[in-house]
Every structure is written in structure tokens, then in C-alpha cells.
Structure 1
Amino acid sequence: MNKHNLIIAALLCITSFSGVAKQDDLLQEVKISAASQEADIKNNQMVFNGPVEVTQGSIRILADELRASSKEDGGGRILVAIGKPATYSQIMEDGRPASASAEEIRYELSNRTLTLIGNATLEQDGSQVKGNMIRYNIAEQRLIAESKGNDRVITIIQPENYQESSQEERKDPEPKPDPIPTQLPEIEQEKQ
């Protein structure tokens, strides 16, 4: 696999901040749409200038700029989406949407860590965490949120009945049966 493909392969490993992300997403092709692209193949770096849209299955990242880099040994692959804000969204295995936004969304593949920096928000089922920095280790399912100065970390947790009702709204309604005819059809009789 050449260096360019290693960077693109890194995008295949994008996952959500929940342990129940759709597994099918990771089997889908990665599509990057950008206004322009620069590649420094010798140094394993690519920059996509925006607006940038990355899609893979239900995963969608929108940014003003996307930087992808990896070290020679393949152990240090990093994706950085930058925007005002950059956004990340995905449909989870149970059909629930999850999203994140920040001025910088950084995904370190070697330690499976998603870091949101600057006006960071993480949301699922109406519940959310907001702070200056949110770090989520996907493998360990550990979240750390921090703020700076007098700002506070804000966590909003929706009651279970909100989550259940919003999940029911996403289900397709059962098909309605055909209406019962109010008139009998005319029967043609054979002429003899």
C-alpha cells in the first residue's frame, strides 16, 4: 500500500464516540469532497481545503479544512478537521443519531481517541456535553471534558422517556391496509 493510500485508509477507521456505532459504516467507501487538495507524499501529509465533506456510510464530517497525516511506521495516523465549527455526525446501530462539533475535531487512530477543541459539543438522544475541550477514548469508552477560565463544563441528560419517544418517532410507521371498498364490483356475465 503506498503512502497516499495509507492516509486514505486512516479515514476508513473513523468511528463514533459511542461503542455502538454502525459496523457497516466502516465497510463503506470513504468519499472526500473538497475545493482543493494538496499532498506531500514524501512526508505522509494531505490537506483538503474547503468546504470539505467526508462521508463513509452514515458518517459525515463537514469542515473548512481537513488534514491527514501518518508516520512512516503507520503508528501515528491523525485526522484533523478544522472549521467554524467542524461537525461530525453518524447514525448509531440502534438508529439513533450522534453528533459532535468543535473548532477542531482531532482523531488519533493509534490510541482511538477523538478530541474536540474549542466550543466543543457532543450530543446523542438530546443529551449533550459542552466544554472547551472534550476527549473521548473510543476503545475504553472514557470521556474527559474541560473548560477554561470562568467557563464551565455543561452536561444535559435527557430522561429515558425522551430517548424512547424519539426512537419511536424514527421507526417507519406500519403500512396501512387498503381501504375496504364501499361498492361491489360489477360482474360481467357471459352471453350465450
Structure 2
Amino acid sequence: MNLNNQQSFARTFLKQIMLTGLTALTASMAFAVPSDRNEPVSLVADRATFNEKTGITTYTGNVIIEQGTMKLQANSIVANLNSNKEISVITATGSPARFQQKTDQAKGLAKGQAQKIVYNAETGILTLVGNALLQQDGASIQGNSLRYSMNKGDIEATGTPNSTGSSAGRVKIVIPPSSKKSFPGARD
């Protein structure tokens, strides 16, 4: 390969890596505070690969993507592109993979973690699998898997059936007391 071809390949490769990183981040920013979108994107990893034939970009080795209040940390992140070179699915794996983001100026950081976090950009579904946990402002939901629809705003939590009555492996929801009411329907 001559020097011009090598330089062209390197520019194309770097362009694809950056495009995929930015697109991945944009996809995860669907419910972020507006100011995050104006912040620079930082992506660090030990290794990055792009396969133009398959449309798969892989980041491995303590991957950290940040933009504003959004932070995604994982052992590896794999982004699959569709035929239009747009992100279709992003998969982050770790022990655990973690993310945080401010979704509303009036609320604290929303934080989540699981062994695997999958975002399907085409359906708007975020799935956390393997000891999944979502937390914000003292409220939390955890289970074996959590499935969140960004389009509909609903969440489905799945635990492991447990006939002993203990909480091990089951869905657990914590709702902090309100400053005005101690439980739904309570009077001031």
C-alpha cells in the first residue's frame, strides 16, 4: 500500500471512529438535559476497531465516553451500523457497565448499571441485563433485567422467581418519602 493510500485509509478510519462515537453518544442522549448536547464528546479506550464490511465498531479496554453530564463506562462497547451507516444497536458490557446522566435540571443524576446495556436506536428501547439497577434521587429499581422504552416512557423489570419469599433475585423498588406526603394518599 503506498503512502497516499495509507493516509487516506487512516483518515477514513478515524472519521468512522469519530462518527460512530458521536452517533453512539447522540443515541444515548435522547433524554438528556439540553445543555449536554453543546458539550464536547470525549471517548477513550485502549483499542478501537472498525469493520467497514460489517458496519461494526468496537471499543475495548476501560472505555469511557463523556459529554456534559453523560458518562458511559464499560469494558467494551460495540456499535452496529445499518446499511445507511447509522447506529442501529449499541452494546456495552462490563462488570458492571455503568452510565450516568442528568435528565432534568431539577433532579439529581440518573445512574444505571448492569452486566450488559443494550440500546436499540431503531426502537428506542434501552435494556439492562444482569444485576440491573437504575437510581435517581433516592429512588431505585433493580432486577435481573430492566427494559426501558424511551419513546413510551415505560419500564419493565424482571426478576428471578423465588418461592422462599426472600427478596434475593426478585424485582426491588425503593420509593423515597416525599417531603409533603409520607405515602400515596396521605394528608398534610
Short-chain TM bin: 0.7 to 0.9
C-alpha deviation, 1:109, in angstroms: 1.1
Show structure 1 runs of 5+ residues with no match. Answer: 163-192
The AA in structure 1 aligned to 2:27 is C
Aligned to 2:174: 156
Inter-partner Cα distance in structure 1 for 2:147 and 2:62: 25
Q: TM-score, normalised by structure 1?
A: 0.75
Higher Rg of the two aligned structures: 1
Percent sequence identity over aligned pairs: 27
Number of equivalent positions: 159
The AA in structure 2 aligned to 1:155 is I
Which residue of 78, 84, 99 corresponds with 2:95? 84
1:166-190 deviation digits (Å, cap 9, x = unpaired): xxxxxxxxxxxxxxxxxxxxxxxxx
- Cα contact 2:74–2:97 (8 A) shared by 1: yes
The AA in structure 1 aligned to 2:26 is L
Q: How big is the alpha-carbon RMSD for the aligned residues of Structure 1 and Structure 2?
A: 2.2
Q: TM-score, normalised by structure 2?
A: 0.76
Matched, 1:50 2:61: yes
Which residue of 29, 33, 43 corresponds with 1:32? 43
Which residue of 106, 115, 123 corresponds with 1:111? 123
Q: Residue 179 of structure 2: SS of its match in structure 1?
A: helix
The AA in structure 2 aligned to 1:15 is M
Inter-partner Cα distance in structure 2 for 1:15 and 1:142: 17
Greater relative contact order: 1 or 2 (C-alpha under 8 angstroms, separation 6 or more)? 1
Show structure 2 runs of 5+ residues with no match. Answer: 1-14, 163-168, 181-188
Aligned to 2:20: 7
Q: Residue 50 of structure 2: SS of its match in structure 1?
A: strand
Which residue of 81, 84, 108 corresponds with 1:70? 81
C-alpha deviation, 1:75, in angstroms: 6.5
The AA in structure 2 aligned to 1:29 is P
Q: Runs of 4+ in structure 1 displaced over 4 angstroms?
A: 2-6
